[in-house]
Structure 1
């Protein structure tokens, strides 16, 4: 295939959108871009034949250079640190992070190639604004209405190899939402949203290449993706929000994040709890370490309101009796009983229990006491696993110790065996509000080194 009249390389059959075809070519003749250069004027000078409906695909490197994003950095890692908002995954020296632009990519997009020694290239501060500036400049210079996509190279989860993706866009429909339509067989489309801007970026990468010195490509024949009104959301619309991101963290980071997310929640919404999520959390709980290869955990799931009310009413009566025996005033009794509302207001309760099956009996009080302590520690480890796993399921929880003060009452209310020791109760549900910030704990305060 021969190249287009204005130089560079080309792909596509050249037919218009009616025939389902398009043409894409890389622009040749662009000079080395330096800080302060007007990219729109440079592009116009080598491609004066741009038309309404064309889409320009501009490599982020030249945008960064024009915007002065070349910075001195003897240590690239320091530059990555400065651009990182959140570490997603780490393996050796490689880091996948969320950067200041909200993009998740290797090394925060910090590039040490195609830049002078001792410097690194940072991504544009606002790639969508950069795309708008180029688009407006081409309209002023050439009088054409084009779309602009700023692209960068990125890897993808579960897929080997790199491709270009859109990190900034202007005048382009970045997402094509097909939900509500039907396919060729009349089947309803309920989940199909096409990342049009990323598809354009990848098409441009085919002709720009990684080492050809051709940082800009043009797509012609897809005018239907150009938004002439200019009120597009930009490429930021392509970034999946945290609430919808099922794969937000790497493995070790997910564990640490889940531990951090494990916060005591005392107010819950009315949203039902998925019993499957609780069972998955129990599956994580029973992987905790335990003495003598035993399994000292039992989890009683109170999924019916009747079982929860029966337990909590029995516990309340026992607690009131204890408080009155302690000489507490009725006002004090009422105040203390209200503290149990976290359990009563939760839509789901779990009572973890300890069983001593497999424990050793030494006939020695000291060693028998230590044996029980080992099992209690194992029960605590199981509960911690359970709470962390609930946090990973985006469920809030509160571990309340009150069942330990009236174990006989709990066993009777729930019909449990005599050798099951309730180890508190866990309120489970969807948090009514984000947890309050808690002061950071410095690990060094809890460490002694010998």
Structure 2
């Protein structure tokens, strides 16, 4: 009886690769150093020698200038360290610009198209050695949740970069619903164990894993799409993005709003600063359609009565009332209320007015926190002032205490469309320095 074969593979560095210069044919250099390559092998090639062969050596007065030129988007910044998205679509430190192993005053850029580079090496080896091998171009990356560096695949040809196991089952028969293995990255890391970071061995070969070869995929498939990237920004960048990208949304889809998301936003709202260590915020959540309709009908009737008392025509009244439709169209409403419990009373008009203004400012800060947090939950919102003009009606309909002052209403829902671009505002226009 033959024993079942135990899976195994070998990985070895390729010796005798000479110093690579612009214009060198990497396939020829590798074929001369590893003439025993055979079908099913996977070649792991450090991006540095690919960059050198392709002439991606540039003069730069500073590495920072080169990083600026290669950066498409800053993801995170901490001191001098920058994590950025580069021209190849990779998110990595310093855009992949390397000042090591290159002459003083020059830096190495990553290959312009690492997948094409891998394909060219693979084609050259097929012509030279009649061997069908897979090729992975590797570079060194840090990772968001792990300490230390490892090599990953930035270019690939002839290798199935992802092994999608979804739809299968594990050894216990449990369904696999989220398992997609980054095969090309695993190969890159294995090769780095024998190439090393300073050993002068830029190429490695993995043998014994012919099943990882395949057509139709590239290392670009390993880059997570923006829509699926839950960690697209660094901490400070995410805070700024949340604040600056919060927009007033006036059209919503019919998709229900998660009450938990609103409660998380309220939790953020009540961290706003407030005078005298008070908590002047109250939030009334109108989750039922009946409650929203009752409030909005009563507010509309009060508004119509006010407009008629002003002598407005029925046509003018109807036009103005239509402006409040944003609240009716929203699947969820929040009514923020101000409670001035704990305010100081001076018996002096100017000082008492300033005291109330402090509480009103705190209310605005709380509502801003709410709106920003809702945006972080991918919910749109519009803060409308209407409840402030009929506070008694709102208190009666919602059965609120007499000392709760409604401070508008916030329409909440999933945006029906992306808001138009906000005109740029230069901070200097709003600053006076003394």
Normalised TM-score (structure 1): 0.93
Taking the aligned partners of 2:385 and 2:291, their CA distance within structure 1 comes to 18
Taking the aligned partners of 1:411 and 1:449, their CA distance within structure 2 comes to 44
Structure 2, gaps ≥5 residues long: none
Alignment of 1:8-157 (within 5 A): 19-157=6-144
Matched, 1:425 2:409: yes
1:399-422 CA distances to partner (integer Å, 9 max, x unpaired)? Answer: 111111111111112111111111
1:311-361 CA distances to partner (integer Å, 9 max, x unpaired)? Answer: 111112222222222233322222222222221111111111100010000
Choose which of 203, 216, 220 in structure 2 pairs with 1:216: 203
Matched, 1:284 2:271: no
Matched, 1:248 2:232: yes
Match of 1:4 in 2: none
Taking the aligned partners of 2:177 and 2:371, their CA distance within structure 1 comes to 34
Match of 2:192 in 1: 205
Distance 1:18 1:68, change over 3 A: farther
Match of 1:294 in 2: 278
Structure 1 residue 22, shift from structure 2 partner:
0.8
Taking the aligned partners of 1:286 and 1:213, their CA distance within structure 2 comes to 57
Matched, 1:171 2:155: no
Structure 1 residue 31, shift from structure 2 partner:
1.3
Structure 1 residue 158, shift from structure 2 partner:
2.4
Choose which of 128, 139, 158 in structure 1 pairs with 2:145: 158
When structure 1 is superposed on structure 2, of 325-334 and 64-73 the one drifting more is: 325-334
Secondary structure of 1:199 counterpart: helix
Match of 2:303 in 1: 319
Matched, 1:331 2:315: yes
Secondary structure of 2:416 counterpart: coil
Matched, 1:270 2:268: no
Taking the aligned partners of 1:442 and 1:78, their CA distance within structure 2 comes to 24
Taking the aligned partners of 1:68 and 1:338, their CA distance within structure 2 comes to 64
Taking the aligned partners of 2:29 and 2:403, their CA distance within structure 1 comes to 81
Taking the aligned partners of 1:87 and 1:117, their CA distance within structure 2 comes to 27
Structure 1 residue 391, shift from structure 2 partner:
1.2
Taking the aligned partners of 1:264 and 1:308, their CA distance within structure 2 comes to 20
Please, what is the CA RMSD of the aligned residues?
Answer: 1.4
Match of 1:3 in 2: none
Structure 1 residue 67, shift from structure 2 partner:
1.5
Choose which of 384, 396, 406 in structure 1 pairs with 2:380: 396
